[in-house]
Structure 1
Amino acid sequence: MHRCQLHLLVILVCCAGTTVSTGCTDRNRVRRPDFWPFSRNTSDKVPGIPSPAERIAVLRKLGQKAAWAKPAEQEKISSELAASFQVEADPLIRVEIVRAISGYPTAAAASVLDAAVHDSDSDVRLAACEAWGERGGPEAVAKLSEALASDVDTDVRLMAAQALGNTGDAGAVAALGQALEDRDPAMQYLAVRSLRQVTGEDFGNDVNQWRQYAKGEMPTPSAPVSVADRIRRLF
C-alpha cells in the first residue's frame, strides 16, 4: 500500500474508533477491518501455493546438492531448474535459480547462466556474472568479457571485472586491459586487482603500467602524479 494511503487509513480508523468509544455501546462498536495493516497474524502464504521464502529455501537446498549429487541426478536437477528459469516472472527467484544451478557442471546450467547474463533485471545479471566467475573456463571469460564491455549497468560491469579475476584465466587480460580505459576509479581498481589474479604479475596500482602490459608492451613506471592532478582527472 502507498505510504500516503496507509497514513490516511490509520487516521480514518482512529477517528472511527474515537467516535464509537464516545457515542456507542460495546455491542455496536465497529469491528477492526480484516485488512488492518498491523495485524500480528499476517502471512504471505496462500493455501496450496508455496511462498517466496519457501521456494527460495528449496532452491538453496538444490544448490547444495551440486557438490555431491551423482551425474544423473545433476542432469535431472539442472534440467528442472532450467525449465523453471525460463518461465519465472519474479527476478528474485530467478536470482536464486542462477545461484542454485551455478554449481552444476551440465549443459543445462551453462544455458541458464548464458540467458541470465542477458536478463532484463540487473540483479539477475549480477548473479550470473558472479556464477560465471566461479565456473571459470574459456566460456566464462567470453561471457564476462561481453558483460564488461557492453552491459548498461555500472554495477554489473564492476562485477564482471571482479569475476574475470576469479576465473584465474589469462584469457581475460585483453578485456581487463580495455576496462582500464574507463575513467571510473572503482573500475580501474577492480581491473588491476583481477589482472594480478590472472597473470601473477604486480605493477602496484600504476594503471599505465598495467595498460602497457595488457597491450603486450614493456611496462615502464609512470611519472609521479600530484593529488591535485588526480582529482582533476576525475572531472
Structure 2
Amino acid sequence: MHRLTPLAILATCALLAGCHDGPLFALKTINPVYRSQWAEDEKLGPTDAQRLEELQRLVASMPSLSDADQEYWLKHIEAILENDKNPEMRTHAIRALAGCRNSRVIDLCETQMTDESIKVRMAVCDVLGTRDESRSTQLLATTIGSESNEDVQMAAIAAVGKHRSPEAAQALKASLRSRNPAVRVACVESLGQCTGKDLGDDPQVWVAYLDGKEVDEQKKSFTRQMQDLF
C-alpha cells in the first residue's frame, strides 16, 4: 500500500478543489518543467484517467477563456503534443484547440498532421475545419491528396467542406475522380456545403462546374426543401 506523502496530498487537493492554479492543475504535470517536482512521487501523480478528464474540461471551457488564459493553456497543450506517448491525450489536446483563438493553433495542427495516431490526425482535420484561414484550407487540401488512411482522408474532405471559398471547392476536385466511390460521394457532399449549390450526385457534373463550365443547378424536390428548412 502506497503511503501518501505531503506532496501527493497537496496534488490531490489541487485536483479536487482547483487550488490557486485552477481546476486544470493536473495538466501542469505533463510539462517536463513540472514533472521534475514529482520525481519521488511518480506513481502517486495524476493518472491517465484524471488527466483525460482535465483535458475534456479544457475542451469544453477553452472558448470562454480570455486570450491570456488561452495562451497559458496553449503552452501546456504544446507540451502534451510533444511529450505525451498516449494518443488519447494528444487527441483531446488537439480538440481543445478548436476553441482557441490564437493564430499558433494552425502551426500546432500542421505539426500533428504527421502524428502516428489516426485519431490524432482526424482530430486535426476537425480543428482545421473550424478555421477559415487560407492556410487551413491548404493544409486540408494537402491531406486529402497525400493521406494514405481513408478515415483521415474522409475527415479532411468533410472539414474542407466547411470552408466556403473557391479554394476549398478546388481542393476537392481531384478526389472527384477517385476510384473509391465513398470518397467521391463525400466530395460531392462537401462541395454542396462549401459552394451552397445543388448540382446532383454526378461527380463529372461537379468537375465541369469547377472547370468553369455552365452547369444547371438541380431543382429541389418538395421533400428536399422541407429538409433544408429544418
State the TM-score, normalized to the length of structure 1: 0.70
| Mapping for residues 70-219 of structure 1, pairs under 5 Å | 70-219=66-215
C-alpha contact (below 8 Å) 2:106/2:136 kept by paired residues: no
Return the index of the structure with the highest Cα Rg.
1
RMSD, aligned CA: 1.7
C-alpha contact (below 8 Å) 1:174/1:215 kept by paired residues: no
Report the alpha carbon displacement of residue 124 of structure 1 after superposing the two structures with TM: 0.9
Question: For residue 116 of structure 1, what is the amino acid of its counterpart?
Answer: Q
| Mapping for residues 215-230 of structure 1, pairs under 5 Å | 215-219=211-215
Report the alpha carbon displacement of residue 47 of structure 1 after superposing the two structures with TM: 4.0
**Alpha-carbon distance in 1 for matches of 2:88, 2:164:** 29
For 1:68, the equivalent position in structure 2 comes to 64
Structure 1's unaligned 5+ residue stretches are 1-45, 222-235
Which shifted more, 120-129 or 107-116? 107-116
**Alpha-carbon distance in 2 for matches of 1:78, 1:70:** 12
Q: Structure 1 stretches (4+) deviating beyond 6 angstroms?
A: none
1:173-192 Cα distance to aligned partner (Å, 9 max, x none): 11111110102111111101
Report the alpha carbon displacement of residue 220 of structure 1 after superposing the two structures with TM: 6.9
**Alpha-carbon distance in 2 for matches of 1:118, 1:192:** 26
Question: For residue 188 of structure 2, what is the amino acid of its counterpart?
Answer: V
Report the alpha carbon displacement of residue 141 of structure 1 after superposing the two structures with TM: 0.5
Identity, % of aligned positions: 27
C-alpha contact (below 8 Å) 2:80/2:89 kept by paired residues: no
Question: For residue 202 of structure 1, what is the amino acid of its counterpart?
Answer: D
Structure 2's unaligned 5+ residue stretches are 1-41, 218-230
SS of residue paired to 2:198:
coil
Report the alpha carbon displacement of residue 218 of structure 1 after superposing the two structures with TM: 2.4
Report the alpha carbon displacement of residue 172 of structure 1 after superposing the two structures with TM: 0.8
Report the alpha carbon displacement of residue 119 of structure 1 after superposing the two structures with TM: 1.2
**Alpha-carbon distance in 1 for matches of 2:153, 2:192:** 18
1:124-173 Cα distance to aligned partner (Å, 9 max, x none): 11110111112232121111000000011111111111111122333111
Report the alpha carbon displacement of residue 108 of structure 1 after superposing the two structures with TM: 3.3
State the TM-score, normalized to the length of structure 2: 0.72
SS of residue paired to 2:162:
helix
Report the alpha carbon displacement of residue 102 of structure 1 after superposing the two structures with TM: 2.3
**Alpha-carbon distance in 2 for matches of 1:196, 1:154:** 21
**Alpha-carbon distance in 1 for matches of 2:98, 2:175:** 25
